[in-house]
A and B are shown apart, each in its own frame.
Chain A
Amino acid sequence: MGLFNIRKSTFKHGVHPPEHKEETNGLPIRQFSFAPLIILPMAQHIGAPSQIVVREGQEVTRGQLLAKAGGYVSVPLHAPISGTIRKIANVPTISGKMSMGIYLEAFPASSQEVLEGTPVDVETATAEEILKGIQDAGIVGLGGAAFPTHVKLKVPEGKHCEILMINGIECEPYLTTDHRVMLEQAEDIFTGIEYLLKATGAERAIIGIEANKQDAADHLEKMIPEGAPVSVKVVPVKYPQGSEKMLITSVLGREVPSGGLPIEVGVVVVNVATTAEIGRLLPHGRGIQERVVTITGPGVKKKGNYLIPIGTPLRYVLDQVGVDEHVSEVYMGGPMMGVAVSNLDISIVKGTSGIVVFAEKDVKRPDKVYPCIKCGACVDACPISLNPSKLGILAKFEAYDQMAEAYHLMDCFECGSCSYVCPSHIPLVQYFRLSKSIVRKRNTAKQTAEHAK
């Protein structure tokens, strides 16, 4: 077998959008200024919103608990700045929905000293205590998904976590957040890995990094603590390698079963910036107050990687960095999977990995949609080998059941590679998002009907 076991360390298919990372990957992380008023939505993670424990008019110190977790799949929220609670009201969020939130006015001359809580000692803490510490710190996936990390780390009964995979892929064009974190926060990352190994019971950790961040890989390799069961694996650049399943396939050659979680193949995946945050916060019992955000795109004047307090209004951020007067589109996240911003009064949240600004001249949106010519570009792009062409045709005929049952619609994780390559400019991934939500709704309706019987 050995001779034929040479496997290219990447996944099947995928695309190569222009990277545009060189514009910010050499710029060190800089502290962003404190906005005079910050806005904190309670729903900035997947799961139940946080529950507010402060009242209007109350003075709070940076790091103080503002809201507690609203359940198991939820995290608390800490004050990113010292100041006064001005108002508790509905605030806008990126999805367009309003969420209960807090308006916090900064003390103009505060030292912004951070309040610390109960430290979690990696030597003595149990796995449960570490998970609790991670939840108490308000940590969610910083790669963009914002799923509560402690839930993800919980290895189900009867399952065994063999490998802790640290995701340093950052395959979205333009974004360099994780790249800078790996270059500048190596010690935090390795401390974080120590906590995570203990929390999951994993035997070893692998840091997966794309070849366009070789400097980060070399640096981390050098910084691995003596005797730590950690290795660095560099994989070829390809979108969407940052997706958990693709990363596992690239690094380990394992395939996560359809509909299953990485733990099915003995892996738990954690984003590298999340890992660094755990390593930085847990030894002091602090809560997360700020995060690294890449502000970039052709429409931005002072591009860079900034450490921005959670809750800083987007309008304030863009005012500070300066944007092209013909600004046309603003994305939260990268251009492949990021969400277009409709309202600048939303704020930087825990899941904001980047802000990409395009001016009018930079938006090259095709004006014409042609019929599907079955060129197969989408089939060659889909990282999970779906047939987007066929799915697109079925979506037009509203054959959602057939899409789900015969063509694996629900496996689509909406990376957008199909839409990216489609020469007929068919909004394939948008069809699939809608189709998926319709199938989900139908399934829920079916279940409810069955329960009623």
Chain B
Amino acid sequence: MSSVVGSLNELLVSLFSDISLDVSFLFLLAVIIPGVVIFLIMTVNAIVAVYMERKVSAFMQDRLGPMEVGIFGFKGGKKFWGGIGQTIADAIKLLVKEDIIPNDADRFLMILAPFIIFIGAFVTFIGVPFSEGLIISDFNIGILYVIAMSSVGVIGIILAGWSSNNKWSLYGAMRAAAQIISYEIPIGLSLILVVIVVGSLEMSEIVKWQADNRWFIIHSPFAMLGFFIFFISGVAETNRVPFDIPEAESELVAGWMTEYSGFRWALFFLSEYTNMLIVCIIASVVFLGGWLSPFKIINLPYVDIIPDSFFILDGFYLGLFWLLIKAIFLIFVMMWFRWTFPRLRVDQLMYLCWKVFIPFALGNLVFICIWELLF
């Protein structure tokens, strides 16, 4: 088995073979260790992404804060540590902030909502690969599992908005739900393109196909259109600008998160940045060759422009490096969107999804079938 749980389980069994430990306990341990690592990845991702977001916006808009706030009295300027003080202060603030649940709110549901959203984001990671063999469990239904699990969060959003008993929260939650479920359809339809071509839902199979042939984004013109539909819908799924009407600051305060504070709010924040990471990783794995080197966009046997042996890292770690480079680039593009496009109106948002993306995605599906039949 080429999954983290499988290989870790084998390792643990071989380590503790002389002590007679229960096999099921070892399996439990083999799942919990990667689980805790995933939690750390989520936390680090949120911290780094917030820092990156500040820095990117500061460069794009000439903002002062992230350029001036240094650490331990050093002025950062445009250097790396400028603005890192804000990140540290953020993390401490979220932990020591007062936890408030309003009197009018539905207490039980309001406490339950962050759990559901966090579980949705956390459990999705079981099917998200980081490198060759570096996936918690390589299902035969990989892609379907990721789509299914990443939409669990909507239930939490609706619960959060409804239970807060606050008008901003309710409007935000209803808008968020309508938006997220609408944009799930173009996402599903553009992932089907890959499944039609590869003939498997497994992540490792999809990347293997790309290694044997070429990156999926240049499979055909339809696949390229599919990538753009997928990525833009992904931006809408994560409620980011220009699709951020559920939490449009200037009209809805903070949308469905209005009544939350302290660590409960931080959980929403964490899940949002995690969803961003998941969308970017899935986009890179499915369309941009996953852990393949960017110098091997097309598989040309006998021609190797820059061989893998050129790099210090090898195999498995090199795959992780390439995948993260691609994912971080896509995250940067999302941040770039934020400072480039104005917010869409709610009717424009629905128009874009139902009257542009879905017809185009369905047309894509038909044409890629014809392409496959012809070639």
The answer to whether A and B assemble together is: no
Chain A residues at the B interface, C-beta cutoff of 8 Å? none
